[in-house]
């Protein structure tokens, strides 16, 4: 089975304290500053390179903030990858960063070894700085833009990661145009959904209805003239499914056995949203990837994705989300039969726009390039007619609600 690694070499340690960060609480369980040791790093790379991945090995580096480790760590990563790579291996390195610590030396290195970076930027300064602050509660937008300038200087490939929170969810067009005007052509919009101990949405989270409106506004702006210029990961993944019947984002699939999280101490988990004691699969210093793959804990976690709500079986869009991410099903790990809090948003978005994606997919299948503006021709749906999502309810009481 092919799988990728999501590695957290500094665990949750970070030079920022973004209020909505879901991972920072992991620092509470660490006695000293978490750093991946050289022994753990070598054991992880060596063992992964021994697995059969069709000679394609994907390393994702995340945190916290992985650039805290400095250039020497990344030089060691490349050294070990070269040492243990089988003949003909294709190695990819992706790194998610807040961008504030990027130096010229680091940017030059990432360019040389073709790292793909994901840089967190929530839009213009007044939106970005609302939640994304330093430990001393100082704004960070200018620091991120400085880091991006250094990446551009050395031609490092990077995407922009936008967390859609309660302050940005009404600003889809403004954020999109801001990124476009800065020449950022690769966007990944991520819904902010966090629950408190009672299973209620935290104040910075968004609702399903808000998510649907955000995506519709984003789509309307993108499809005007940017379908060949700007890549939005969610839109790409929808088209890829329609063309190739393949899922390129994990929430779309029916099983969550897709990658492993490797914490700084070598501990292995099935998902970075579920790095918790009851889902610990083992440790790379003692176990083997084959053991992790057949672990009953891992298999059970993966299959729980298909334990969606009975209502989902009647939905026309089931193949596009399979009940959505387990995390979004109410915040209670034991209540996976509940609908995703984003369900209404997904249904609204697909009800209005799936036909447009199908046209784009058909053009790709027919090897036709879509040039210029794309005229939006929405399906006209009577508010009192049955909802196109297949729920059996009237449209006004379902996806419009």
3-state secondary structure 88-136: CCEEEEEEEECCCCCCHHHHHHHHHCCCEEEEECCCCHHHHHHHCEECC
User: In a 10 Å sphere around its CB, with 0-12 CB exposed, 13-18 middle and 19+ buried, how is residue 156 labelled?
Assistant: buried
Question: What is the distance in angstroms between the CA of the first residue and the CA of the last residue of the chain?
Answer: 42
Residues 302 and 92: their CA atoms lie apart, in Å, by 24
Q: For the chain, give the number of residues.
A: 401
272 noted as active-site residue: yes
Q: Which of 122, 213, 272, 324 is catalytic?
A: 272
The label of the residue with tokens 């709500």 reads 309
The DSSP H or E segment spanning 210 is helix 208-225
**CA 238, 243, 248 angle in degrees (round to 5)?**
45
- CB half-sphere exposure, 26, CA atoms < 13 A: 23
Residue 192: closest CA among 174, 204, 209:
204
Please check whether residue 314 is in contact with residue 389, taking contact to mean a CB–CB distance below 8 angstroms.
Answer: no
The DSSP H or E segment spanning 60 is strand 56-61
Could you give the residue numbers annotated as active site?
A: 272
């Amino acid at each position: 089975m092919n799988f990728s690694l999501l590695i957290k070499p500094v665990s949750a340690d970070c030079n920022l304290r973004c209020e909505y960060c879901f991972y920072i609480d992991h620092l509470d369980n660490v006695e000293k500053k978490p750093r991946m040791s050289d022994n753990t790093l070598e054991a992880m790379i060596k063992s992964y390179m021994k697995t059969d991945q069709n000679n394609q090995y994907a390393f994702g580096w995340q945190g916290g903030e992985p650039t805290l480790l400095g250039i020497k760590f990344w030089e060691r990563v490349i050294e070990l990858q070269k040492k243990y790579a089988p003949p003909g291996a294709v190695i990819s390195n992706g790194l998610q960063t807040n961008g504030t610590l990027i130096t010229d030396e680091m940017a030059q290195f990432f360019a040389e070894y073709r790292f793909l970076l994901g840089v967190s930027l929530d839009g213009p300064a007044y939106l970005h700085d609302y939640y994304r602050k330093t430990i001393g509660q100082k704004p960070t937008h200018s620091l991120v833009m400085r880091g991006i300038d250094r990446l551009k200087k050395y031609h490092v490939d990077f995407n922009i990661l936008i967390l859609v929170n309660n302050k940005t969810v009404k600003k889809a067009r403004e954020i999109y145009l801001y990124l476009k005007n800065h020449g950022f052509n690769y966007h990944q919009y991520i819904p902010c959904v966090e629950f408190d101990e009672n299973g209620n949405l935290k104040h910075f989270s968004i609702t399903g209805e808000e998510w649907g409106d955000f995506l519709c506004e984003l789509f309307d702006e993108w499809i005007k003239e940017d379908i060949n210029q700007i890549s939005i990961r969610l839109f790409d993944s929808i088209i890829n499914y329609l063309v190739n019947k393949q899922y390129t984002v994990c929430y779309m699939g029916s099983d969550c056995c897709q990658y492993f999280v490797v914490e700084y101490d070598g501990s292995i988990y099935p998902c970075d949203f579920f790095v918790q004691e009851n889902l610990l699969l083992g440790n790379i210093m003692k176990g083997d990837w084959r053991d992790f793959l057949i672990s009953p804990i891992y298999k059970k976690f993966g299959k729980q994705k298909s334990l969606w709500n009975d209502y989902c079986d009647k939905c026309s869009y089931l193949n596009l989300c399979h009940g959505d991410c387990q995390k979004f099903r109410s915040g209670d790990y034991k209540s996976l039969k509940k609908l995703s809090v984003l369900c209404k948003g997904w249904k609204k978005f697909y009800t209005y726009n799936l036909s447009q994606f199908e046209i784009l997919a058909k053009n790709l299948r027919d090897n036709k390039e879509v040039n210029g503006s794309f005229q939006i021709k929405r399906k006209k749906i009577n508010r009192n007619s049955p909802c196109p999502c297949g729920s059996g309810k009237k449209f006004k009481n379902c996806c419009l609600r």
